[in-house]
């Protein structure tokens, strides 16, 4: 979980509280602010999830490349340093 997801969750919760408080008190402006903050939170949360998925994919690819590199056996070629001078 990254900071975007945390911030998004907080905005969603606070926005929901504002919206409900506005509805109870009849304050339309507070309701609208709450809805806007909830939407902002949902967008931040989605962005954070996207970043997490991308990071996880990169990490998985790096592990795959590292594992593959360990399995490759390099054979000397006639022009490699070990055979020069013969």
For the whole model, what pTM was predicted?
0.66
Residue 84's φ and ψ, nearest 5 degrees, are -70, 145
Per-residue pLDDT tens digits for 5-64: 999 999 999 999 999 999 999 999 999 999 999 999 999 999 999 999 998 888 887 766
3-state secondary structure 19-66: HHHHHHHCCHHHHHHHHHHHHHHHHHHHHHHHHHHHHHHHHHHHHHHH
Contact 15, 38 (CB under 8 A): yes
Contact 34, 22 (CB under 8 A): yes
């Amino acid at each position: 979980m990254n900071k975007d997801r945390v911030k998004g969750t907080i905005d969603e919760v606070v926005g929901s509280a504002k919206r409900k408080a506005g509805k109870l008190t009849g304050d339309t402006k507070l309701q609208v602010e709450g809805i806007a903050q909830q939407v902002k939170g949902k967008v931040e949360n989605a962005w954070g999830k996207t970043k997490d998925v991308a990071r996880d994919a990169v990490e998985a690819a790096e592990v795959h490349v590292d594992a593959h590199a360990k399995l490759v056996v390099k054979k000397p070629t006639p022009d490699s340093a070990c055979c020069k001078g013969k």
